[in-house]
Amino acid sequence: MNNDSQAKQKWQKQLTSLWPAIKASLAMVRKPCIRKHCRACACGDKHPAWLLSLSYRGRRTTMYVPAALAPTVKKAIQNGNKIERLLYRAGPELVRRYRKSRQNR
């Protein structure tokens, strides 16, 4: 059981260091503005914008992300992926820990 509380502590530390975390994707898109005679829009360059998209239970959601927030969102996506990898690893570790504690009896 002591082994389990150690694992819990380790888990809490890892999760805390991986905040903020989200599950989504971020893409740069180009959209036109509302200004008349905008050079960027006239030549087809338009204006860069960040788009967050995610799907949850089959429903897809997208929303614009302010450029200043984009680096934070990118980091949060990376953290989310790291947490996902930790969860995949957690299964085998849980079983191994259980087996070990049974052997030590």
Size of residue set near Zn ion by CB under 5 A: 4
For residue 25, the Cα-to-chain-centroid distance in whole angstroms is: 8
Stretch that binds Zn ion, among 12-20, 27-35, 66-74, 89-97 (CB under 5 A): 27-35
**How far is residue 53's CA from residue 48's CA, in Å, rounded to a whole number?**
16
Q: Are 54 and 24 in contact (CB under 8 A)?
A: yes
**Residue 49 touching Zn ion (CB under 5 A):** no
Q: Are 53 and 62 in contact (CB under 8 A)?
A: yes
- Please pick, from the candidates 7, 26, 40, 86, the single residue that binds Zn ion as defined by CB under 5 A: 40
Token pair, residue 44, equals: 């087809």
**Residue 21 touching Zn ion (CB under 5 A):** no
**Residue 54 touching Zn ion (CB under 5 A):** no
The radius of gyration of the chain's CA atoms, rounded to the nearest angstrom, is 22
- Please pick, from the candidates 15, 18, 21, 38, the single residue that binds Zn ion as defined by CB under 5 A: 38
Footprint of Zn ion on this chain (CB under 5 A)? 33, 38, 40-41
